[in-house]
């Protein structure tokens, strides 16, 4: 009998242009909480998706209870005792708690095969008590909070007799009370012999809840340690794998006069941002920190005209401006690199040339309506050279490039408009470490040229390393501001959880 | 470099996979041609190309909707509307049962403009409903399909319209230097749309919306405006096709154009316009329409009963879309 409940050995997985996992390993003992840590893009989520049957691994072996196992899809994973509480929960909002828990495996009456509602509700009630929820099983999911939905997901895992529960950033949008509650649930699951694979960026949480810690970097396995032997500094050093000093390019930008002023900006959506005030200077890199759910993306998307504003003003170069659609923002000289490149950035099936030129076609028109393809090609070639975009040709479809090169293509798209303000929402998300440095260099260069940068980042080292000044948001409000000199991971985290 | 590295065998296999329907149809045509000596004749070819013209114009219209991940189910009924409006305004003076007995002979160009404008208004409405009310194109145009049919019934009283003026029917029957007028009109439409799709901002925005509508919006594209233009232009093309079809048949009724939208969508899909959006070329649409017409003629030559040809056509549509989606299924 093996000491381990789960062994993943030598797992590799490639996507077009990126090797996401390279010989990764994870060994989990029964009845333990096993933390899986690494920077964004280290391959944690990919590894878990291979385990849960969402991705099929290219190489490697998954062993459960000492027996090699193939997992073909999430249902198969569930049948083999593996459940996942997703980073972004995907509940069926308009159905009841009970139906969400039993969807796909409803209890039925013996002969007619009609759903046995009585049994379903009774069982659900017992399950909910296990996760410390006092709710009617018939309540619709849409009436619950994020943390309650998460508890429902955990109840679902328990009901499927899961022996391994994967939790991907479970506390990213929870308050401290909710986190404590979650930890209580985790502890009771652990006592029952269930293993938890716990993915998180919050080091203090990891050290307080986990028994063992596996660290990954660039898709590779770095090692596994007893949590008691580790300190936050040790984890960070092992995660990053190099001195933090050389991660960011030297900066020589000099912040000048105020170009953008946001006053009392409030979203039309009740639970989104409210009463936001900040200023942005010429040639300044302004960081926006905060936890997931702090409404940072919502704020910049509202400034860019994607979302609605209930009240408040935006003053740009001394003039009040009204932005109703992205087009208005672009005309003012504002650019937005969105957070989710795939959803709102790239045109996957279109070429590099089309992806670069789409926002600036007005400049490349002869006789009022005929596009000048020669000029467009020159624009594309100039940018490919300037940002060293690695692509076979300008006609290559953007979806075949790596994340970093895709990001550079979208930056080129905005450069073509020569905007004065760049809003960058998680500019290095899902990008290889090497390409990150190139993106930082581009950002530093832009600031040096006198462009103003607003950069949202959930990676604290990046935020501190790049920003001249950082405002921190919590629960839709600005909870504080720190200068580059006084910025530390601790004081930013404190501000980010200020109203929790 | 990358492309040359793929072995020849795989490339041939890939080509066959990507063009399965087209290749299959060509094989059928060859088989029919060998069995029926009358198949490969000049007359039959001319017949095929003239039949293709009106369908090609409809397919051009619907292609813009498909490229933007939409669809237009009102196409066929719009063809009928165009045909009925033009026909009622271009009947012979003094003929029995003339729709507007005291209507003088109007200039044809004037009637064409009126017809296209009316169809354009309905197309604009389609676009506006889809863009502003956010009704899914499938539902919006399904509703419009029925609505237009109703309007057409009310307008004509369900009476067939014949005795069209000779200077009108000549549009379909005449030719210039041996080239049928219909062919010339279709070629001109094809060239204009090729130009629109490849050389203008409108074209680029259209492909961008199909590729990723949210990203297009963020890049400053006024997606609503572009879609309205697409649906308006589509309706104008259906109207034009209706005018030509009525001239070709020498008359029309409310049933003109029934089911043409499905044939046009099928032809586009066979020709590589992806139902996943963002992809589609004019040359592909032409091939798709030709292949579909070839199928119909082949079945006719084989003596297959009309009722059965519907079954075959239905199957071809489903297979074409299924094959197309296979190309884009996420490879996990």
Q: For chain A, which domains are there?
A: 6-242 (3.40.50.300), 246-496 (3.40.50.300)
Q: Do A354 and B208 touch (CB under 8 A)?
A: yes
Looking only at the bridges linking them, the beta strands covering A220-226 and A285-290 are: unpaired
Q: Do A326 and B220 touch (CB under 8 A)?
A: yes
State mean pLDDT over B179-198: 95
State mean pLDDT over A385-414: 89
Nearest residue of chain A to residue B328 (CA atoms): A349
Task: Examine the pLDDT at B330 and tell me if it is beyond 60.
Answer: no
Chain A contact for B327, CB < 8 A? no
Alpha carbon distance B152, B304 (integer Å): 32
Best mutation target among B3, B217, B219 (most A Cβ atoms within 10 Å) is B219
Chain B contact for A234, CB < 8 A? no
> Using a CB-CB distance cutoff of 8 angstroms, which residues of chain B are in contact with residue A330?
220
Q: Do A347 and B332 touch (CB under 8 A)?
A: no
Give Cα B317 distance to the centre of its chain.
14
How many other CB atoms are there within 10 angstroms of residue A265's CB atom? 20
Query: A428-463: string of b/e by CB count within 10 Å (b at 16+)?
Result: bbbbbbebbbbbbebbbbbbeeebbbbbbbbbbbbb
**pLDDT tens digit sequence for B106-137:** 999 999 999 999 999 999 999 999 999 999 99
- What pLDDT is attached to residue B230? 98
Interface list for A 385-444 with B (CB within 8 A): 392, 413
- What pLDDT is attached to residue B6? 54
What sign results for the dihedral spanned by CA atoms A138, A139, A142, A146? negative
- What pLDDT is attached to residue B316? 84
Nearest residue of chain B to residue A302 (CA atoms): B218
Alpha carbon distance B49, B28 (integer Å): 18
From A416, A426, A423, select the one nearest A463 (Cα to Cα).
Answer: A426
- What pLDDT is attached to residue A500? 59
- What pLDDT is attached to residue A256? 92
State mean pLDDT over A45-65: 91
- What pLDDT is attached to residue B149? 96
Residue contacts between A and B (CB atoms, under 8 Å): 85
State mean pLDDT over B228-254: 96
pLDDT cut 90: percent of chain A above it: 56
Assigned token pair, A475: 């629960």
Looking only at the bridges linking them, the beta strands covering B175-176 and B179-180 are: antiparallel
**pLDDT tens digit sequence for B28-60:** 888 888 888 888 888 888 888 888 999 999 999
Query: Rg of chain A's alpha carbons, rounded to an integer?
Result: 24
State mean pLDDT over B16-27: 80
State mean pLDDT over A166-186: 85
Alpha carbon distance A466, A247 (integer Å): 10
> Using a CB-CB distance cutoff of 8 angstroms, which residues of chain A are in contact with residue B2?
392
Question: Which of B199, B208, B276 comes nearest A371 by C-beta?
Answer: B199
State mean pLDDT over B158-176: 91
From A431, A421, A97, select the one nearest A260 (Cα to Cα).
Answer: A421
Alpha helices in B250-305 (DSSP H): 260-270, 282-301
Q: What is the three-class DSSP state of A201?
A: coil
Alpha carbon distance B55, A333 (integer Å): 46
Query: Rg of chain B's alpha carbons, rounded to an integer?
Result: 21
Assigned token pair, A4: 């381990």
State mean pLDDT over A1-15: 87
> Using a CB-CB distance cutoff of 8 angstroms, which residues of chain A are in contact with residue B204?
354, 357-358, 361, 371
- What pLDDT is attached to residue B329? 61
Question: Which of A54, A306, A350 comes nearest B218 by C-beta?
Answer: A306
* Residues in contact with A177: Cβ distance below 8 Å, sequence separation at least 6, in sequence order: none
Q: Do B204 and A358 touch (CB under 8 A)?
A: yes
State mean pLDDT over A408-436: 89
**pLDDT tens digit sequence for A90-119:** 778 888 999 988 888 888 888 888 998 999
**pLDDT tens digit sequence for A327-364:** 999 999 999 999 988 889 999 999 999 999 999 999 99
- What pLDDT is attached to residue A406? 92
Distance of residue B70 Cα from the nearest chain A Cα, in angstroms: 17
Task: Examine the pLDDT at B2 and tell me if it is beyond 70.
Answer: no
Assigned token pair, A370: 């005929």
Distance of residue B97 Cα from the nearest chain A Cα, in angstroms: 48
Assigned token pair, A177: 């009370």
Task: Examine the pLDDT at A245 and tell me if it is beyond 60.
Answer: no
Distance of residue B144 Cα from the nearest chain A Cα, in angstroms: 29
| Arithmetic mean of pLDDT over chain A | 89
- What pLDDT is attached to residue A242? 58
Alpha carbon distance A282, A304 (integer Å): 18
Chain B contact for A325, CB < 8 A? yes
* Residues in contact with A426: Cβ distance below 8 Å, sequence separation at least 6, in sequence order: A339, A456, A457, A458
- What pLDDT is attached to residue A40? 66
Q: What is the three-class DSSP state of A452?
A: strand
Task: Examine the pLDDT at A368 and tell me if it is beyond 60.
Answer: yes
Alpha carbon distance B247, B107 (integer Å): 15
Sorting pLDDT into bands at 50, 70 and 90, what band is B4?
Answer: very low
* Residues in contact with A329: Cβ distance below 8 Å, sequence separation at least 6, in sequence order: A303, A304, A305, A323, A336, B220
Which of these ranges, A37-41, A184-188, B219-223, has the smallest mean pLDDT? A37-41
Question: Residues A312, A262: contact at Cβ < 8 Å?
Answer: yes
DSSP string, A128-166: HHHTT----TTSBGGGS-HHHHHHHHHHHHHHTT-SEEE
At CA A329, angle to CA A399 and CA A319, rounded to 5?
160
In which element (H, E) is residue B216 found? helix B213-218
Query: Running DSSP on this structure, what letter comes out for residue B234?
Result: H
Alpha carbon distance B258, B265 (integer Å): 14
Q: Do A346 and B207 touch (CB under 8 A)?
A: no
Q: Do B279 and A326 touch (CB under 8 A)?
A: no
Distance of residue B272 Cα from the nearest chain A Cα, in angstroms: 13
> How many C-alpha atoms does A243 have within 13 Å on its Cβ side?
2
From B148, B163, B166, select the one nearest B88 (Cα to Cα).
Answer: B163
At CA B192, angle to CA B188 and CA B195, rounded to 5?
140
Chain A contact for B213, CB < 8 A? no
> Using a CB-CB distance cutoff of 8 angstroms, which residues of chain B are in contact with residue A55?
332
* Residues in contact with B275: Cβ distance below 8 Å, sequence separation at least 6, in sequence order: B66, B69, B269, B321, B324, B325
């Amino acid at each position: 009998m093996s000491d381990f409940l789960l062994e993943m050995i030598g797992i590799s997985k490639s996507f077009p242009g990126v090797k996401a996992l390279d010989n990764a390993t994870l060994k989990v003992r029964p009845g333990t909480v096993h933390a899986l840590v690494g920077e964004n893009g280290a391959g944690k989520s990919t590894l878990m998706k291979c385990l849960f049957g969402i991705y099929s691994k290219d190489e490697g072996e998954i062993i459960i209870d000492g027996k090699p196992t193939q997992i073909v899809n999430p249902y198969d994973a569930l049948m083999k005792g593996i459940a996942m509480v997703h980073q972004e929960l995907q509940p069926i909002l308009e159905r009841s708690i009970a139906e969400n828990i039993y969807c796909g495996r409803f209890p039925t009456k013996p002969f007619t095969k009609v759903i046995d509602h009585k049994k379903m509700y009774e069982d659900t009630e017992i399950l909910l008590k296990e996760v410390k929820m006092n709710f009617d099983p018939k309540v619709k999911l849409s009436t619950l909070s994020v943390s309650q939905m998460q508890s429902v997901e955990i109840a679902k895992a328990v009901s499927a007799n899961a022996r391994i529960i994967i939790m991907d950033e479970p506390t990213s949008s929870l308050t401290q009370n909710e986190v404590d509650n979650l930890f209580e649930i985790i502890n009771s699951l652990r006592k029952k012999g269930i293993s938890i694979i716990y993915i998180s960026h919050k080091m203090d949480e990891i050290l307080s809840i986990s028994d063992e810690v596996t660290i990954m970097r660039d898709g590779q396995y770095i090692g596994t340690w007893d949590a008691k032997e580790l300190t936050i500094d040790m984890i960070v050093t092992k995660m990053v794998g190099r001195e933090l000093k050389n991660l960011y390019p030297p900066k020589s930008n000099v912040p000048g006069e105020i170009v953008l002023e946001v006053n009392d900006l409030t979203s039309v959506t009740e639970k989104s941002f409210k009463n936001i005030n900040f200023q942005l200077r010429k040639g300044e890199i302004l960081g926006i920190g905060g936890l997931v759910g702090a409404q940072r993306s919502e704020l910049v998307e509202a400034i860019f005209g994607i979302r609605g504003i209930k009240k408040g003003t935006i003053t740009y170069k001394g003039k009040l401006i009204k932005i109703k659609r992205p087009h208005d923002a672009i005309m003012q000289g504002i650019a937005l690199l969105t957070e989710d490149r795939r959803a709102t950035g790239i045109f996957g099936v279109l070429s590099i040339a089309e992806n670069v030129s789409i926002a600036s076609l007005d400049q490349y028109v002869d006789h009022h309506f005929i596009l000048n393809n020669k000029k467009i090609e020159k624009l594309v070639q100039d940018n490919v050279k300037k940002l060293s975009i690695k692509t076979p040709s300008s006609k290559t479809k953007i979806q075949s490039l790596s994340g970093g090169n895709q990001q550079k293509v979208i930056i080129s798209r905005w450069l073509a408009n020569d905007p004065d303000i760049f809003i960058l929402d998680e500019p290095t998300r899902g990008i290889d470490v090497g390409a990150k440095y190139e993106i930082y260099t581009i950002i530093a260069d832009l600031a040096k040229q006198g462009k103003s940068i607003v950069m949202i980042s959930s990676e604290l080292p990046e935020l501190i390393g790049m920003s001249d000044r950082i405002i921190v948001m919590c629960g839709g409000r600005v909870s504080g501001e720190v200068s580059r000199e006084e910025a530390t991971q601790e004081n930013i985290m404190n501000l980010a959880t200020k109203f929790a | 470099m990358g492309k040359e590295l793929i072995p020849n065998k795989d490339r041939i296999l890939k080509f066959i996979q990507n063009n399965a329907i087209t290749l299959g149809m060509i094989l059928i045509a060859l088989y029919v041609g060998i069995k029926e000596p009358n198949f490969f004749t000049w007359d039959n070819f001319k017949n095929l190309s003239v039949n293709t013209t009106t369908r090609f114009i409809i397919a051009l219209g619907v292609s813009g909707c498909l490229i933007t991940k939409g669809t237009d189910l009102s196409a066929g009924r719009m063809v009928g509307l165009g045909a009925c409006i033009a026909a009622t305004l271009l009947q012979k003076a003094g003929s029995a049962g003339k729709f507007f007995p005291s209507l003088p002979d109007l200039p044809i160009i004037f009637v064409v403009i009126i017809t296209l404008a009316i169809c354009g208004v309905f197309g604009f409405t389609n676009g506006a409903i889809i863009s502003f009310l956010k009704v899914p194109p499938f539902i919006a145009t399904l509703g419009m399909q029925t609505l237009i049919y109703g309007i057409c019934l009310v307008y004509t009283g369900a009476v067939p319209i014949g005795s069209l003026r000779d200077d009108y029917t000549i549009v379909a029957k005449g030719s210039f230097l041996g080239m049928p007028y219909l062919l010339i009109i279709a070629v001109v439409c094809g060239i204009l749309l090729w130009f629109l799709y490849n050389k203008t901002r409108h074209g680029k925005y259209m492909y961008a919306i199909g590729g990723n509508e949210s990203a297009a919006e963020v890049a400053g594209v006024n997606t609503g405006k572009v879609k309205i233009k697409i649906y308006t232009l589509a309706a104008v093309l259906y109207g034009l096709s209706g005018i030509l079809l009525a001239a070709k048949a020498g008359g029309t009724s409310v049933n003109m154009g029934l089911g043409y939208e499905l044939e046009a969508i099928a032809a586009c899909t066979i020709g590589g316009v992806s139902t996943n959006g963002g992809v589609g070329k004019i040359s592909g649409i032409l091939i798709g329409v030709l292949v579909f017409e070839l199928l119909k003629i082949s079945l006719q030559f084989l003596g297959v009963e009309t009722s059965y040809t519907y079954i075959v056509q239905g199957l071809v549509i489903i297979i074409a879309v299924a094959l197309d989606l296979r190309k884009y299924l996420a490879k996990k």
